[in-house]
């Protein structure tokens, strides 16, 4: 088994951004891998850009860190010049400018989420290539492949803050169960008019899924159980 | 009478004279010499009063041990040290460069350096070289905002951790840390754990070996414990000593004092004027 410790640091990742009635909830796993080795099992992929705008990072760790550092710097200057907090749209646009103009060199997918007084809670997805798409919810990273169907079924408009956060935590934990490049803990950030709340859900406190569950019945039941009952017409 | 050509001194920059010869040799089957890499186990951890860094001391050139006792814990600032893994030249050069930049910055600001300053300078440099500067670093120090420990990867990404390991022996050392690390270690517990992690790398990884170096940094004070532990002493020493059978024969000894050949003249220079 070749671990390849010289491989670039990448965040396999599952990242999610969801709007709710009054703000946004951002969520992410915490695994950073170098080849097949987990270099950091408790990384923080949700980074602050301004007081009211955060970004979820995925893809190359170096590229996403550098892009978010630059945009934080630009937004800081912009806030001073503007005299009021920057909007989520401006933050997303700055990220997009860097991602699009350097599309050949960068390999990072980002989800920008925040709250401002003009538009309320907003989520912008910026995948590889530098498109910017405003969405009611966005998913990204290698673990997101397993969540498209889940969100089609579970997402609804006008959720409360608690419902939205529970949805995000459930989704990230489902993706962690299926994606090898996602793991560790689930971090969430809730942004609304009142401010920012950071939450942390350790891996062993997450719900177990399907094959991870203990068999509920006695051994006898399991031995006697046949296959799934065929559907009767 | 032979015409001898005048040798112009090289004007600086890379000399391409030997490139054709090297190509010809590689085509004939000669392997190019490999870079001096520090196979390495380097670690860092945060304890109750500050940061402890540790490293092994083996430098390898392919399968050969080039240096049995090299120094992998580099000075960055009086309160900041950096362990380096990867290509030895790259880690030396990049840590020296950032150390000078920090010194100039200290003169300009009049304040002690902060660990995140060193972090940003290092990550900017490494990112701009897109991973070709093969330096994987563990940066630790104590500044006005407390103790800090970071890892920096060759592509320019960084992590901030309470305990970290890098290098080929990182897996062996990380297993020790994951089993035994807890918050609020005392100085002695911390040193013991770091030494144990480095020894795990030394004995289980082929790219690491020889001795254990440790550096303890606390607020306002640092201790560089070079060769803190030497678990690989040279135990067999021949009692007969080493002699060489055939010596170099001395045919002639002639001593010429230099004053006979060269006349030293003092030039009365102009005194420096204010």
**What tokens does B268 get?**
């009365």
Task: Name the band, by pLDDT with cuts 50, 70 and 90, for residue A134.
Answer: very high
Query: Of B155, B168, B171, which is closest to A9 when you measure between CB atoms?
Result: B155
Question: To the nearest whole percent, how much of chain B has pLDDT over 70?
Answer: 91
Q: How far apart (Å, rounded) are the C-alpha atoms in residues B194 and B213?
A: 10
Question: What is the overall mean pLDDT for chain B?
Answer: 89
Q: Which B-chain residues 156-195 have CB contacts (< 8 A) with chain A?
A: 156-159, 161, 168, 170-171
pLDDT score for A227 = 61
| B130-145 mean pLDDT | 95
Q: Does A161 touch chain B (CB under 8 A)?
A: no
Task: Name the band, by pLDDT with cuts 50, 70 and 90, for residue A220.
Answer: low
Question: What is the overall mean pLDDT for chain A?
Answer: 90
Query: Of B134, B153, B171, which is closest to A9 when you measure between CB atoms?
Result: B153
| B114-130 mean pLDDT | 96
Out of B38, B40, B87, B151, pick the active-site residue.
B40
Active site amino acids of A: 13
Q: Distance (Å) from the C-alpha of residue B156 to the closest C-alpha of chain A?
A: 5
Q: Does A208 touch chain B (CB under 8 A)?
A: no
pLDDT score for A223 = 66
**Cβ contacts of B153 on chain A, cutoff 8 Å:** 8-9, 34, 39, 61-62
CB contact (8 A) between residue A5 and residue B168: yes
**Cβ contacts of A60 on chain B, cutoff 8 Å:** 155, 157
Question: To the nearest whole percent, how much of chain B has pLDDT over 90?
Answer: 68
ipTM score = 0.81
pLDDT (tens digit per residue) in A49-103: 999 999 999 999 999 999 999 999 999 999 999 999 999 999 999 999 999 999 9
Q: How far apart (Å, rounded) are the C-alpha atoms in residues B181 and A15?
A: 29
pLDDT beyond 90 at B239: no
CB contact (8 A) between residue A66 and residue B127: yes
CB contact (8 A) between residue A6 and residue B156: no
pLDDT beyond 50 at A1: no
Q: Does A3 touch chain B (CB under 8 A)?
A: yes
Q: Distance (Å) from the C-alpha of residue A158 to the closest C-alpha of chain B?
A: 37
SS3 at position A51? coil
Query: Which is more confidently placed, A35 or A212?
Result: A35
CA dist list (Å): A119 to A23, A89, A114, B2: 10, 9, 10, 88
pLDDT beyond 80 at B269: no
pLDDT score for A219 = 67
pLDDT (tens digit per residue) in B72-84: 999 999 999 999 9
| A152-176 mean pLDDT | 95
Q: Go through chain A and tell me how many residues it has.
A: 233
Task: Name the band, by pLDDT with cuts 50, 70 and 90, for residue B36.
Answer: low
């Amino acid at each position: 088994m070749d671990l390849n410790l010289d491989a670039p640091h990448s965040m396999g990742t599952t990242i999610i951004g969801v709007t709710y009635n009054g703000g946004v909830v951002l969520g992410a796993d915490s695994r950073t891998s170098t080849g097949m080795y987990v270099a950091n099992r408790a990384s923080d992929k949700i980074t602050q850009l301004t007081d009211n705008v955060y970004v979820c990072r995925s893809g190359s760790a170096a590229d996403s860190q550098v892009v978010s550092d630059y945009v934080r710097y630009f937004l800081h200057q912009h806030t001073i010049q503007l005299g009021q907090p920057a909007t989520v749209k401006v933050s997303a646009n700055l990220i997009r400018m860097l991602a699009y103009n350097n599309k050949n060199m960068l390999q990072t997918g980002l989800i920008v989420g925040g709250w401002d007084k003009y538009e309320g809670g907003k989520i912008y997805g910026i995948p590889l290539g530098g498109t910017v798409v405003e969405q009611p919810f966005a998913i990204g990273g290698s673990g997101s492949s397993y969540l498209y169907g889940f969100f089609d079924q579970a997402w609804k408009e006008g959720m409360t803050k608690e419902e939205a956060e529970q949805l995000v935590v459930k989704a990230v934990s489902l993706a962690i169960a299926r994606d090898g490049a996602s793991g560790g803990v689930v971090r969430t950030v809730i942004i609304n008019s009142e401010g920012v709340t950071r939450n942390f859900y350790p891996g062993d406190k997450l719900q177990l899924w399907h094959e991870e569950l203990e068999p509920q019945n006695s051994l006898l039941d399991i031995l006697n159980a046949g296959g799934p009952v065929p559907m009767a017409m | 009478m032979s015409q001898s050509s005048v040798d112009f001194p090289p004007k600086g920059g890379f000399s391409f004279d030997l490139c054709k010869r090297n190509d010809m040799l590689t085509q004939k089957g000669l392997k190019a010499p490999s870079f001096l890499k520090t196979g390495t186990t380097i670690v860092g951890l945060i304890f109750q009063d500050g940061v402890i860094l540790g490293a092994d001391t083996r430098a390898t050139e392919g399968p050969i041990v080039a240096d049995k006792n090299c120094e992998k814990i580099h000075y960055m600032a009086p309160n900041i040290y950096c362990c380096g893994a990867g290509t030895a030249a790259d880690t030396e050069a990049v840590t020296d460069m950032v150390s000078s930049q920090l010194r100039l910055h200290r003169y300009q600001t009049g304040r002690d350096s902060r660990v995140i300053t060193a972090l940003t300078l290092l990550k900017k440099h490494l990112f701009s070289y897109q991973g070709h500067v093969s330096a994987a670093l563990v940066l630790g120090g104590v500044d006005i905002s407390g103790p800090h420990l970071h890892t920096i990867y060759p592509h320019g990404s960084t992590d901030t951790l309470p305990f970290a390991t890098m290098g080929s022996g990182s897996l062996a050392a990380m297993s020790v840390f994951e089993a035994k690390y807890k918050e609020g270690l005392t100085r002695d517990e911390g040193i013991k754990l770091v030494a144990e992690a480095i020894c795990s790398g030394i004995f289980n990884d082929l790219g690491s070996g020889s001795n254990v170096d440790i550096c303890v940094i606390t607020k306002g004070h640092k201790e560089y414990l070079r060769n803190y532990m030497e678990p690989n002493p040279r135990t067999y020493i021949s009692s007969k000593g080493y002699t060489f059978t055939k010596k170099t024969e001395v045919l002639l000894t002639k001593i010429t004092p230099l004053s006979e050949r060269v006349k030293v003249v003092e030039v009365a220079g102009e005194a420096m004027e204010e």
